[in-house]
Amino acid sequence: MPYRIKATVSYDGKNYCGWQKQIKDPTIQGKIEQSLRKLHGGTEVLTYGASRTDAGVHANNQVFHYDTKLEMTESKWKIAINNYLPNDIYIKTIEFVNEDFHARFNVVKKRYRYFVNTNDFDPLLRNRMSFERRILDLALMEDEVKKLIGKHNFKSFTGSSVYDNYVRVIMEASIIKNDGVLEFTFVGNGFMRYMVRTMVGTLVEIGYGRKKDINEILLKEDRNYAGKSADSNGLYLDKIWY
């Protein structure tokens, strides 16, 4: 009798073309399914992820689920899957769940974080955060980021992907500075492709005087009015609520 497993995974996205499995390019989902296939004697096991993180994006707590007939305890599942994973992907928790649980469709909200380093460039951190050498008006950025909170049409902040609905709800949006590193935090009921990176990139441009205010950009509902998307290396899928 098959049963369902919910797994939480952390990964460094530098060497991968995002979460979603592809035919030729390496992905997080692809590596995890390779591990599960080995554990199931060559039988394909499909996984379903909570979020399709893009190439180079990291995760502290990505969630996925899969169905299996293979019987092991939760702790042994964790050891077994990690045994076949590279050291830049790590299963943090395994949990047996009801068959109606779905990693994507049961999501209530997600939290993303983005890090911008305003200190001197550090090659050891180049894959963990982006670097900004220009002087930024942090007080202005802190005022503008608050305007993203609420229910809005975020069409100005997504890429070329087409959606039936561009309305999303942002519950929290903030910027804090710690030892020269800006930490952007966004909590919302859903995020479109490039949405977080475009919000960050726009706020950075506002910080050095290149863009108008967030309210005007939201009202335009046109990607051309927002700023350049920030690089993927500073973005982390941080937490998912069910």
Domains observed in the chain: 3-97 (3.30.70.580), 109-241 (3.30.70.660)
The two structure tokens encoding residue 109:
């909200």
Which residues are within 8 A (CB) of 86 and not within 5 positions of it... i.e. 6 or more apart?
31
What pLDDT, on the 0 to 100 scale, is given for residue 211? 84
The 3-state secondary structure of 24-58 reads CCCCHHHHHHHHHHHHCCCCCCCEEECCCCCCCCE
**Cα–Cα distance between 183 and 194 in angstroms, integer?**
17
Exposure string over 18-30, b if 16+ CB within 10 A, otherwise e:
bbebeeeeebbbb
Mean pLDDT on 128-157: 97
* Cβ atoms 199, 77 nearer than 8 A: no
**Cα–Cα distance between 77 and 3 in angstroms, integer?**
13
* Cβ atoms 130, 138 nearer than 8 A: no
What pLDDT, on the 0 to 100 scale, is given for residue 1? 83
Residue from 12, 54, 231, 238 carrying the catalytic annotation: 54
Q: In the structure, what pLDDT confidence band is assigned to residue 95 with cuts at 50, 70 and 90?
A: very high
Chain-wide mean pLDDT for the chain?
A: 97
Told to judge if 120 belongs to the known catalytic residues of this protein, a careful annotator would answer no
**Cα–Cα distance between 133 and 149 in angstroms, integer?**
28
Q: What is the pLDDT of residues 35-64, one digit of tens each?
A: 999 999 999 999 999 999 999 999 999 999
Question: Is pLDDT of 161 > 90?
Answer: no
